[in-house]
Chain A
């Protein structure tokens, strides 16, 4: 069974940093492209960042470019999101999401981890 388990969320002050992790199991992690998607309280879904299976290609949403860094460790079956210079508008549930092999979509999602940016 495919499992994605996020961790690392919490309360942080504006300007602070946080590192999210996503532990993958039940599939060959190194074969899959991965993403972070977030959802502000009561709002819709917003794609945040993408990383290719090897880590060689990375993309960011303009809203986080220069502040967030996506990375992965295929030996540890883990995906990461380093978040710096956090702002109130970064408050959201952050999901890791797997790209499907069969089509252009996210076929598996973690349960999410809540990041709250407030003083």
Chain B
């Protein structure tokens, strides 16, 4: 199998606080991890791609100082939403691939629903 675990599944916090979301590959080493954002009834929007031990590559329009990504090991990547505001409320989903060749299947976590009050 290829299991990806995401934690927490749901978080509510006050405006101005920072929130950290963890993404773990449980039964494989993830060479690359991806972070997506999904609004209700919409498709997945790629925010950034991260490879273990290197800086994340952010998509155009995504603030790297706002959404801090750390991929410190082959099984863990974290997304920190800094100084969160209500407009940051969304469903955040991570995915991971194994192997170094391109076009490997992406295996997704179950997402984190973030609500900023």
Do A and B pair up? The answer is: no
Q: Footprint of A on B, CB under 8 Å?
A: none
Q: Footprint of B on A, CB under 8 Å?
A: none
